[in-house]
């Protein structure tokens, strides 16, 4: 990954360095679960599990990797809305 390029599509296995595509741009490691979540446009303080629950990297990785980024969904929705408003002017 590089700071000046779009990230690859975040998948459910993004936190594994062996998967190749998800190496941190400056450090010799995979991106963290939190970094993947931020790329998927989750808020920085989003809580994936309750404090009393056991942490499962695989489970959280799946939640993040299977998510549709909010920012992407919002952009698509705005585009559809603009098109509909243009086509169906009252």
DSSP 40-76: TT--TT--SS-TTSPP-HHHHHHHHHTPPPHHHHHHH
Domain-located, residue 74? yes
Domain count, the chain: 1
Domain-located, residue 68? yes
Report pLDDT digits (tens) over 19-62. 768 989 999 999 999 999 999 999 999 998 877 777 788 889 99
Domain-located, residue 3? no
Report pLDDT digits (tens) over 55-89. 788 889 999 999 999 999 999 999 999 999 999 87
Domain-located, residue 11? no
């Amino acid at each position: 990954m590089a700071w000046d390029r779009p990230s690859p599509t975040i998948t459910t296995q993004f936190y594994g360095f062996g998967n190749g595509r998800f190496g941190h741009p400056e450090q010799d490691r995979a991106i963290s679960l939190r970094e993947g979540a931020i790329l998927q446009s989750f808020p920085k303080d989003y809580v994936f599990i309750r404090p009393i629950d056991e942490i499962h990297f695989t489970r959280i990785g799946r939640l993040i990797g299977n998510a549709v980024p909010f920012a992407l969904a919002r952009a698509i929705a705005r585009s559809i809305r603009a098109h509909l408003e243009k086509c169906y002017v009252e």
